[in-house]
Amino acid sequence: MENTSQDIRQLNEKIHQASAFVDLLNLELGKAIVGQKYMVERLLIGLLAQGHVLLEGVPGLAKTLSIKSLSSAINGKFSRIQFTPDLLPADVVGTMIYNQQRNEFMVRKGPIFANFILADEINRAPAKVQSALLEAMQEKQITIGDTTFKLEEPFLVLATQNPIEQEGTYMLPEAQVDRFMLKVVIGYPTKEEERLIIRQNLNPEGMSKIQPIISPEDILNARKLVREVYMDEKIERYILDIVFATRNPEEYKLSKLKPLISYGGSPRASINLALASKAYAFMKRRGYVIPEDVRNVCFDVMRHRVGLTYEAEAENVTAENILSEILNAVEVP
């Protein structure tokens, strides 16, 4: 055991040094983004844990600004795709065009070929476009005609959806929602934050340009380290208990939740909960995961993976209510 604790201590020191850039990134992003600390933290978790992020919030909460600033700070390539009902898969991934001079078809790459993709109002586009995006998110590759292209790493899709409008929107299929590591619900800034936002926007000189702090290679190295973060067996069991409680609540003395849940988290939920916890520990400059890390990311990883029955909707029970009950009932290691 002595050897293991020695190893953990060394790993902790290594990660403490390697994660120093997180504070620098936060400082740099703070120049352009006021308030939305939680959202920026979640974007970084997605980036470090190789996951995509679905943001839900009303318009005007700096969603676009956040991912644009993040891509500038990492010196990555940024693309914004506005999803509309008449969008075609070719508008996202690209298409084959005929070159008359050379008398042949050539590939014209679409906006998906970037490091950071902002899929704005993702629930406005039909299923065909969603399936094209799905291949990029899951396989990190794109097929145009009969050629398959690998996408550049890091590759992060940040999708936004507006919770208030129902007209002209399509429900995202469960399989696609499950591909997002985190679903983050963001609210309005506080009064003090909004005062700063007004001042910053009224004084254009006050808004400083985001400078590149690190390179995409640094992010790829940090991702390797995130996977090295130590996770004890007790923490693994804790994660499994949380996910299994969404499938079989009666085994955790939560029989009253049984009629409210139509389906629980898939194995992808367990993998993502473990990865996001490791990324969160890394951001807190620790080489090991504690139960607090799991609890901190649990809602964002799980809220879109717990299906609600009609009964739950009739009783105004949300996925968050169910997850709170589960976290209170499952034994913390």
Whether 63 and 172 map to the same domain: the answer is yes
Q: Which amino acid is at 106?
A: M
Whether 170 and 75 map to the same domain: the answer is yes
Mean pLDDT computed over every residue of the chain: 85
Residue 230's DSSP bridge partners are: 288
Return the CATH number at 297. Answer: 1.10.8.80
Q: What's residue 6's pLDDT?
A: 80
21 pLDDT band (50/70/90 cuts)? confident
Residue 249 resides in a domain = yes
Q: What's residue 153's pLDDT?
A: 85
Whether 310 and 242 map to the same domain: the answer is yes
Task: Give the span between the Cα atoms of 8 and 2, in whole angstroms.
Answer: 10
Domain residues for 294? Answer: 229-329
Q: Is the dihedral of CA 195, 199, 202, 208 positive or negative?
A: negative
Q: Which residue has the tokens 């194995």?
A: 267
Q: Which residue has the tokens 């992020």?
A: 53
Over the range 162-193, which residues count as b (16 or more CB within 10 Å of their CB) and which as e? beeeeeebeebeeebebbbbbbbbbeebeeee
Return the CATH number at 42. Answer: 3.40.50.300
The two tokens of residue 185 are 């619900």
Whether 166 and 285 map to the same domain: the answer is no
- Residue (of 192, 183, 133) closest to 163 by Cα position: 183
Residue 252 resides in a domain = yes
Whether 16 and 78 map to the same domain: the answer is yes
Whether 168 and 308 map to the same domain: the answer is no
Structural domains in the chain (count) = 2
pTM: 0.87
Task: Give the span between the Cα atoms of 145 and 147, in whole angstroms.
Answer: 6
Residue 281 resides in a domain = yes
**What pLDDT digit, counting tens, does each position of 36-50 carry?**
788 888 989 999 998
Residue 252, helix vs strand vs coil: helix
pLDDT exceeds 80 at position 262: yes
Whether 173 and 245 map to the same domain: the answer is no
Q: Which amino acid is at 333?
A: P
Whether 199 and 255 map to the same domain: the answer is no
Q: What 8-state DSSP symbol labels residue 83? A: -
Q: 245 CB contacts (<8 Å, ≥6 apart)?
A: 251, 252, 254, 264, 326, 329, 330
Whether 184 and 287 map to the same domain: the answer is no
165 pLDDT band (50/70/90 cuts)? low
Residue 107 resides in a domain = no
Task: Give the span between the Cα atoms of 184 and 40, in whole angstroms.
Answer: 10
Over range 273-286, report the average pLDDT: 92
329 pLDDT band (50/70/90 cuts)? confident
Task: Give the span between the Cα atoms of 188 and 302, in whole angstroms.
Answer: 22
Burial class of 268 by CB neighbour count within 10 A (0 to 12, 13 to 18, 19+): middle
The two tokens of residue 183 are 């679903």
Task: Give the span between the Cα atoms of 125 and 84, in whole angstroms.
Answer: 5
Over range 186-211, report the average pLDDT: 79
Q: What's residue 207's pLDDT?
A: 58
pLDDT exceeds 50 at position 29: yes
Q: Which of 122-131, 226-235, 272-281, 295-304 has the lowest mean pLDDT?
A: 122-131
Q: What's residue 126's pLDDT?
A: 81
Task: Give the span between the Cα atoms of 256 and 254, in whole angstroms.
Answer: 5
Whether 252 and 317 map to the same domain: the answer is yes
Q: What's residue 2's pLDDT?
A: 43
**What pLDDT digit, counting tens, does each position of 63-109 carry?**
888 888 888 888 888 899 998 888 888 888 888 888 888 888 888 88
Whether 198 and 234 map to the same domain: the answer is no
Q: What's residue 1's pLDDT?
A: 38
Whether 26 and 64 map to the same domain: the answer is yes
